Amino acid sequence: KEMAPQQRILFPPEKICMDWQQRQRAGAGLHNLGNTCFVNSVLQCLTYTAPLANYLLSREHSQSCRQQDFCMMCIMEVHVNKVLHSSVSAIQPSAVISVLTRIGEHFQLGRQEDAHEFLRYTVDAMQRACLSGSSELDMSSQATTIIHQIFGGFLRSRVTCLSCKAVSDSYEAFLDVPLDIKAASSVTAALEDFVKPEQLDGENCFQCSK
């Protein structure tokens, strides 16, 4: 059983360029503004994610953005252009720091936070910015933003009845995959463990009605 087709494509996949569109030297570093290393490490990872940087360097988003208030895509566009076009060795990531509590209301300037959590909130905020005015679209259409196409995907959960062999599929959009890496020898092994089939029994059993 396949997912429902998209009602609308928000960003054409053929426009996403996985390689750098222009020869790019390393940009400016980022000053630590007081326990902001969790922000800086995430910003550097995003800045050097080529398909995202290509889009932000084109300034295509801000040219068509209609959001009056907080827009994470516009903020990242300003930041990436500042980093990659700067002639100085390091800059202050002030555009992002100034909206820290808009990204996640529990983030506090001056307090060390978790980098992975900040990455998740930042990517979620960029996805919401891309969906501005389109949040009522179906799940498949919402997955056609440039952010979801770069970072996201779908998890398919399949339940198969062991008696009648009926199959039931459900889909869930994701922007990251939580892997248990403590007991895994590699990322591949962690992924294999993540999708390993399990047999439901006891209180976990389903009552099959096909």
Model pLDDT for residues 156-196, shown as the tens digit of each residue = 999 999 889 999 899 999 999 989 988 889 999 999 999 99
Please give the C-alpha separations between residue 193 and each of 64, 78, 185, 200, in angstroms, as whole numbers. Answer: 43, 40, 11, 16
Confidence of residue 150 (pLDDT cuts 50, 70, 90): very high
Question: What pLDDT band is residue 72 in, cutting at 50, 70 and 90?
Answer: very high
Q: What is the radius of gyration, based on Cα positions, of the chain?
A: 20
Q: Is the pTM of this model over 0.85?
A: yes
Number of alpha carbons in the 13 Å side-chain half-sphere of residue 102: 15
Query: How many CB atoms are located within 10 Å of the residue 159 CB?
Result: 12
Which regions of 6-64 does DSSP assign to beta strands (E)? 29-30
Tens digits of residue pLDDT in 90-144: 999 999 999 999 999 999 888 999 999 999 999 999 999 999 877 688 888 999 9
Least confident of 42-51, 74-83, 181-190: 181-190
The distance from CA 210 to its chain's CA centroid, rounded to whole angstroms, is 35
Confidence tier at 12 by pLDDT (50, 70, 90): very high
Rounded mean pLDDT, 65-88: 93
Residue 75: how many other CB atoms lie within 10 Å: 21
| Beta strand residue intervals within 83-174, DSSP E | 90-91, 153-160, 167-174
Mean pLDDT value across residues 149-154? 95
The answer to whether 1 and 157 have CB atoms below 8 angstroms apart is no
d(CA 123, CA 173): 14
Give the per-residue pLDDT at 63.
94
190, 179 contact by CB (below 8 A): yes
Could you give all domains of the chain from N- to C-terminal order, each with its CATH number? 13-149 (3.90.70.10), 152-204 (no CATH)
Average predicted confidence (pLDDT) for the chain: 92
